[in-house]
Amino acid sequence: MNETPRKNHGPNQEEVTAFLSSPDAYGPEVVRVERIDTHAAVVFLAGDAAYKIKRAVRFPFLDFTTLARRRRFCEREVVINRRTAPELYLGTVAITRASDGTLALGGEGEAVEWAVHMRRFDQAALFDRMAQEGRLTPGLMAATADAIRAFHESAERLFGADAVGGGAKAVGRVIEENLDTFAAHPDVFPSAGLRRLREAMGAAFDGVRDLLDARVVAGFARHCHGDLHLRNLCLIEGRPVLFDAIEFNEAFAAIDVLDDLAFLLMDLDHRRLRPFAAQVFNRYFSGEADFSGLRALPLFLSSRAAVRAKVGIIAAANQQAPEAKALLRAEAAAYFAATLDYLAPPPARLVCIGGLSGSGKTSLARELVPEIGAAPGALHLRSDVVRKELFGVAETETLPSSAYRMDVNAKVYDALERRGKCALAAGHSVILDAVSARPEERDAFESLAGACGAAFFGIWLEAAPETMRERVDTRVGDASDATASVLDRQLLGETGPIAWHRLSTDRSLGDVAEAARALLAG
């Protein structure tokens, strides 16, 4: 497949870009213009505004070769992105030519080009820049997951022919297009690796073909973002904002929500930020009970890495500077390697972490989540959170003592088992985080793993009573309602014989995590 862009023979875009690169185009308040080039667009940062024009190019996946099409897609970009970033997308503006031949921004003459008019934001607020500089935080990742989930829940649901990017046929087409691109660049993507990738992708695709179609019927195909990686997220007034959604190809945006989310998970993982990827993953799925779709996640992650590899090689082909070209090719090769890694997930396993209140179950679980199972990490099911969900309250809202009766506890553990079973059956590893003080509760979890054909590992955490009391008393903003008096009752209770691996937590979390890793590895 030829990925070389084809240019049209209309107005000279070099003249337009030269005009927009000059401060004179914008008025006396603008003294400097910054230019950002991509394979399909050019963005000009001028004063408190930004102007984005489409390049007059055609790729297999987009066509901007006529002025009419560029205008239509500029207008479409504004409509699409106002769903998530209305404060950024101000409208469209024409670049016009006056009777004397001069160009103007929004003038009265003939329109020779169209631009998306945006409110400028600090480039340091881009999430990819924040990732490079180590400025992403757990709080920001939680807010990002919430924003993406809210967007997906409000996005238009698409069925049948309208779900042009969802379902087996569409996903299979994307896979073939990516493989064809790789085949055209054997100097970057070796033929032996490509053969392995073709076989692995084919097997993975065949394994989820029916699932992909079933998810469209179930309403998981929606008008999504389509390009949801870190560079298309920014921080505006302290909150994460999704922008630069796909407008030029419905097949890239009318997709499964899990496919959309997978782009961000892959991007974080590729940047060696798997703990953040695991956090976004678990936050996004908090409250869910059906995890059957996770069977398709390895394929979606691999496909997203393939997209980045393809975009990278296209960008490299159109880059003149040797150093920049080499960097893009190396990055494309790294993404290509990742496509194979995602298609070889380790077998699913169930890790249960039990112990009395304040023993450190959740802290240890969060440390281990990114390291257990397939990317981006294990599904973390926590009894405290599930209990709040069953009562329909926020995680930090305190429940009455009646919410902790034995019959309620049974419902909580049943919910944990059902959710864990669903995820394990989908091939995804699970960490169950619950007190598990009763022998029958521990036995049920172990039986669950056996029924799902998953390896089981139980860890029982212990600490001095005074240590656990201090931890319980100093908790702030946590889902647990346990108090020192609750812990005292637990200490008087009978746990029966505990066959799980015992681990003392009377030490730093780092030391506890290292000890747990050693147990899991042994």
Residue 345's alpha-carbon distances to 13, 91, 229, 337, in angstroms, are 47, 45, 22, 14
Determine the residue type at 308.
Answer: R
Q: Distance between CA 519 and CA 503 in Å, rounded? A: 9
Which residues make Cβ contacts (< 8 Å) with residue 229, sequence separation at least 6? 128, 263, 264, 266, 267, 308
Q: Give SS3 for 277.
A: helix
Confirm or reject CATH 3.40.50.920 for domain 127-342, answering yes or no. no
Residue 197's alpha-carbon distances to 206, 269, 299, 330, in angstroms, are 14, 19, 11, 18
Pick the CATH number of 349-521 from 1.10.10.60, 3.40.640.10, 3.40.50.300, 3.40.1180.10: 3.40.50.300
Residue 137's alpha-carbon distances to 265, 270, 276, 371, 491, in angstroms, are 15, 17, 8, 19, 36
pLDDT for residue 4: 43
pLDDT > 90: percent of the chain: 94
pLDDT for residue 7: 45
Run of H or E including 114: strand 110-119
What is this structure's pTM? 0.94
Which residue, among 282, 508, 505, has the nearest Cα to 376 in the 3D structure?
Answer: 282
Which residues make Cβ contacts (< 8 Å) with residue 110, sequence separation at least 6? 96, 97
Q: Distance between CA 490 and CA 505 in Å, rounded? A: 17
pLDDT for residue 1: 37
pLDDT for residue 61: 86
Q: Which CATH class is domain 6-120?
A: alpha beta
Residue 241: strand pairing partners: 234
pLDDT for residue 97: 96
Return the number of other C-beta atoms located less than 10 Å from residue 175's C-beta: 20
Do 280 and 380 form a contact (C-beta atoms < 8 A)? Answer: no
Break the chain into its structural domains and give their ranges.
6-120, 127-342, 349-521
Chain-centroid distance, C-alpha 22: 38
Which residues make Cβ contacts (< 8 Å) with residue 193, sequence separation at least 6? 336, 337, 340
Task: Summarize pLDDT for 389-448 with one digit per residue, the tens.
Answer: 999 999 999 999 999 999 999 999 999 999 999 999 999 999 999 999 999 999 999 999
Strands 349-355 and 430-433: parallel
pLDDT for residue 184: 94
Burial-class residue 453 by CB neighbours within 10 Å (0-12, 13-18, 19+).
exposed
Residue 125's alpha-carbon distances to 120, 122, 324, in angstroms, are 11, 6, 24
Chain-centroid distance, C-alpha 438: 37
Determine the residue type at 97.
Answer: R
pLDDT < 50 positions in the chain:
1-10
Burial-class residue 449 by CB neighbours within 10 Å (0-12, 13-18, 19+).
buried
Q: The tokens of 329 are what? A: 């090719």
Return the number of other C-beta atoms located less than 10 Å from residue 514's C-beta: 13
Task: Summarize pLDDT for 464-519 with one digit per residue, the tens.
Answer: 999 999 999 999 999 999 999 999 999 999 999 999 999 999 999 999 999 999 99
Do 355 and 361 form a contact (C-beta atoms < 8 A)? Answer: yes
Do 119 and 88 form a contact (C-beta atoms < 8 A)? Answer: yes
pLDDT for residue 319: 82
Determine the residue type at 305.
Answer: A
